[in-house]
Structure 1
Amino acid sequence: MSTQTVLPIDRASLVELSKARQEPEWMTTLRGQALELAGTLELPTLEKTRIDRWNLASFGTYKAGAKLASLEELPASAKSLLQNDGQGHPENLIVQKNSGVVYSSVSETLKQQGVVFTSLEEALKSHGELVQKYFMSVVGKDENRLTALHAALWSGGVFLYVPKNVQVEVPVQALFVTDDAEASFSPHVLIVAEQHASVTYVDNFVSEGSLNGLVQNGVVEVVVKPGAKVTFASVHNLDESVTDLTYRRALVENDGSIEWIVGEMHFGNAMSDTTSILKGNGSTSDAKVICVGTGEQKLNVSTRAVHFGKSSDSQMITRAVMRDGATAIINGITKIEKGATKANGEQTEKVLMLSPKARGDANPILLIDEDDVTAGHAASVGQVNQEQVYYMMSRGVTREEAERLIIYGFLAPVVSQIPLEQIASQLQLLVERKLGQ
């Protein structure tokens, strides 16, 4: 039975805000419907995680931010994440600060190719039909209270559209920064790659200062048309006072490919769900996830692949390092539907605990409704091998350095396979920062 839900805004105020932002009528209607749903739906049920005990009340209110005159106005920690064009100028970049996009840059090359890379709010006006076709089509607003609240309250966000046969040679990037505890921070990323197109998208989530329990409730939707390829890389590095909730989902058609690279490097409680729906024959998914938990963090990280297409293939590998009193539930879920003959799904989840109070669960789950398939899984949870530590210490290595080397060796199977050098080095730096405290 549903309990009474206190919503962060009433319908009249939400409609008024949508109209003030000059959104099309269909979006205003969708927001209102989603808000009503949020009042009736339950929170998602997560494996061994009581998300209802988390701080889920502080969604903030929409605040239109002033445009950046220059990227120099960004905090140093945010600027350091930007890729440059070799001459010190980031190209193909969108920056969202708190509720809205404050900076946008697209190269002439991409414009001439017909690529659309803009804020989702701007795309509502300039490419409304495209946005309407795909918005909340991969992640449903009626799935649970969080997805409904996101559909009602999202702001800022990114719209990336790559036309048929266009190969985008350089990564496009987005930066999401929050530094105002009272401003909403729920971006929506919508990516559409048409037939035989390819693109690499990279984003970073960072926070500045204490944010007093703010909730980041984000959604990513990726539509991969036949023969297209999308590489999606994301690193979250938010303050311990932020509750980080993210659904990432890709719908992959015939011979399409999605590659996920995810770094869950925040300091607060987090729920992360990264899913590939392999709808088409020959569709593929490759997911690499690393996370580091410290303090009293509670993490619930799920990676899943749902196979509908014949000869579809999914690979997923997750490595988690837990320290102090942190807790992690790491789920790997491979679902092969009836009719998905010749499908193959492989997954590995491993958790390394660095202290007696740290806790980690690795849950490999295979759900197979078809006989003519292959699937496999591996999972382990353990502590640092003291014999390895003592061996290295006997060779003159300090205990601290020995443990550091073991940790990096544990994460290496993921980090070494990341094709984007910038993301690999950034994750290495964040691992050092989190574990060096």
Structure 2
Amino acid sequence: MTVVTKLPYDKDYISQFSSDKNEPEWMSSLRLKAYDQAEALDMPKPDKTNISKWNFSQFKHAAEGAKIDSLDALPEELKVFIDGDSKPENLLIQRNQTAAYVSLSKDLADKGVILTDIFTAMRDHSELVEKYYMKDAVQVDEHRLTALHAALMNGGVFVYIPKNVQVETPIQTIFWQEDPEAALFNHVLVVADQGSELTYVENYISNNDNEQTVANIVTEVIALDNAKIDFGGVDHFAAGTTTYINRRSAVYRDATVDWALGLMNDGNTVSENITHLIGDGSSTEMKAVTVGRGKQISNITSKTVHFGKDSVGHILQHGVMTEAASSIFNGIGKIEHGATRSDAVQESRVLMLSENARGDANPILLIDEDDVTAGHAASVGRVDELNLYYLMSRGLTKRESERLVIHGFLEPVVGVLPIESVKKQLTNIIERKIN
């Protein structure tokens, strides 16, 4: 039985919102078409997780945020994400749905690099944004949540790296939901043109432990021929936020997109990280960690789809479940017919620290070609007593020993995050959650 979601906003609201943002005609039309599609489309059906009663539609839609004149005025929980001095280059901070702080080095601006909020991008670079917006990576009509996202999008960023430009300093975005009731329909579009290179890191943070709201996030990452993107992210929405996040990449000939993700939300979460290896010689490494606590339910899918010959897709995801948290890990490698000599390997492991915690690792290989390399590993269990015994024999308490084992278990992902301050912050979040 399909649950019908009554949308809280009508076409007049969407048209007015688009007009207020001075959006181009193509975007206004896309929104209205998506609104019509949303009610007809089914909800997604993540494996072994019933989300039919989760709140994805009742929320406060928009909330403006004050501009940030000085980073010194930021709360400490945000300052820890920022490397360097008080005026770092290549940084965008979105406060609620407002681009409150934007900084791009003159050198990169002179080379044609674009870092701006999604609304400014649609006005100033309309044709470029239209070329990639919900085209190569995520489509509007995949299911109800993608259509809702397209209709109600209220924030996000656009990053574009021109041909053969190598960006040596990471570009960083921080999405700060200061209003505890405001929904975030965030769209991130990152495009690396032919032969370019980029490190991009994003952080999500909120503090709504008691107020209920929604985050519906779509991130599209496009790596054209011979481009390379290192993508890092830390999600830390509070317990009151029900989250759907769809990170999707399209990788063309001899291009690479590598992911390092810390999935640290405290509320119920559906997270998808899917890479389409379209070109010959394309590759991806997808690494993700999560720590669940309380009664949180999460469904996490990492998937590589191989279209190009000699494409390589490796998945590594580790999770720790505490208290009464539960998580489903889906690792999927799909090799399409014609993707000869492709390599799809995955590993999913879950540690449970409580009798009430639950974890499930589902390795899936879908192979439609003969000349390939494919493999998977999956495990679900508790902390190894032999490891604990060894550490305790060296004078550590059981609690200290468990902490060391857990940090070591998560290190393969935490250790490769490309910004040191973000890596430290993720380590601190993990420490708080396991304690």
TM-score bracket, normalised by the shorter chain, equals over 0.9
User: How far did 1:38 drift?
Assistant: 0.8
Give the aligned partner of residue 131 of structure 1. Answer: 129
1:363 aligns with 2:367: no
Give the aligned partner of residue 286 of structure 2. Answer: 287
User: How far did 1:355 drift?
Assistant: 0.6
Pairs within 5 Å for 1:141-156: 141-156=140-155
Distance 2:151 2:126 in 1: 17
Give the aligned partner of residue 67 of structure 1. Answer: 67
User: How far did 1:169 drift?
Assistant: 0.5
Pairs within 5 Å for 1:220-231: 220-231=219-230
CA contact (8 A) 2:314 2:344 kept: yes
- Alpha-carbon deviations, 1:275-322, whole Å to 9, x = none? 110000000011110000011110111100000000000111000000
Task: Note closer, same or farther for the CA distance 1:282–1:230 as it changes in structure 2 (3 Å cut).
Answer: same
Distance 1:59 1:261 in 2: 30
CA contact (8 A) 2:3 2:52 kept: no
Give the aligned partner of residue 340 of structure 1. Answer: 339
User: How far did 1:364 drift?
Assistant: 0.6
- Alpha-carbon deviations, 1:304-363, whole Å to 9, x = none? 000000000011100000000000000100000000000001110000000111000011
Pairs within 5 Å for 1:2-21: 2-21=2-21
1:88 aligns with 2:89: no
Task: Note closer, same or farther for the CA distance 1:185–1:418 as it changes in structure 2 (3 Å cut).
Answer: closer
| RMSD (Å) for aligned C-alpha atoms | 1.4
User: How far did 1:2 drift?
Assistant: 4.7
Distance 1:53 1:114 in 2: 46
1:34 aligns with 2:34: yes
How high is the TM-score relative to the length of structure 2?
A: 0.97
User: How far did 1:408 drift?
Assistant: 1.5
Distance 2:119 2:418 in 1: 31
1:315 aligns with 2:346: no
Distance 1:424 1:4 in 2: 41
Pairs within 5 Å for 1:257-336: 257-336=256-335
1:394 aligns with 2:393: yes
Larger deviation, residues 130-139 vs 405-414: 405-414
Distance 1:126 1:92 in 2: 19
Where structure 2 has 5 or more consecutive residues not aligned to the other structure, the ranges are none
Give the aligned partner of residue 114 of structure 1. Answer: 112
User: How far did 1:57 drift?
Assistant: 3.0
1:175 aligns with 2:178: no
In the comparison of the two structures, how many residue pairs are matched? Answer: 434
Give the aligned partner of residue 197 of structure 2. Answer: 198
CA contact (8 A) 2:66 2:95 kept: no
Larger deviation, residues 137-146 vs 97-106: 97-106
Q: Secondary structure at the match of 1:310?
A: coil
Q: Secondary structure at the match of 2:276?
A: strand
Q: Secondary structure at the match of 2:232?
A: strand
User: How far did 1:387 drift?
Assistant: 3.0
- Alpha-carbon deviations, 1:396-429, whole Å to 9, x = none? 2111101111112212233334454333333222
* Equivalent residue letter for 2:214: V
Give the aligned partner of residue 96 of structure 2. Answer: 98
1:79 aligns with 2:90: no
- Alpha-carbon deviations, 1:259-282, whole Å to 9, x = none? 111100111111110011000000
CA contact (8 A) 1:100 1:155 kept: no
* Equivalent residue letter for 1:435: I
Distance 1:144 1:211 in 2: 29
User: How far did 1:174 drift?
Assistant: 0.4
User: How far did 1:20 drift?
Assistant: 1.7
CA contact (8 A) 1:240 1:267 kept: yes
How high is the TM-score relative to the length of structure 1?
A: 0.96
CA contact (8 A) 1:99 1:184 kept: no
* Equivalent residue letter for 1:34: A
Give the aligned partner of residue 236 of structure 1. Answer: 235
User: How far did 1:59 drift?
Assistant: 3.4
Distance 2:410 2:209 in 1: 29
Larger deviation, residues 172-181 vs 290-299: 172-181
- Alpha-carbon deviations, 1:369-394, whole Å to 9, x = none? 00010101100000012233233223
Q: Secondary structure at the match of 1:291?
A: strand
Q: Secondary structure at the match of 2:14?
A: helix
User: How far did 1:182 drift?
Assistant: 3.6
1:23 aligns with 2:23: yes
Distance 2:28 2:76 in 1: 37
User: How far did 1:211 drift?
Assistant: 5.6
| Amino-acid identity (%) | 46
Pairs within 5 Å for 1:382-421: 382-421=381-420
CA contact (8 A) 1:59 1:185 kept: no
Distance 1:422 1:241 in 2: 26
Larger deviation, residues 230-239 vs 210-219: 210-219
Task: Note closer, same or farther for the CA distance 1:405–1:49 as it changes in structure 2 (3 Å cut).
Answer: same
Distance 1:14 1:415 in 2: 40
User: How far did 1:79 drift?
Assistant: 1.9
Give the aligned partner of residue 212 of structure 1. Answer: 211
- Alpha-carbon deviations, 1:244-270, whole Å to 9, x = none? 210000000000000111100111111
Give the aligned partner of residue 372 of structure 2. Answer: 373
- Alpha-carbon deviations, 1:4-27, whole Å to 9, x = none? 320121111111111122111111
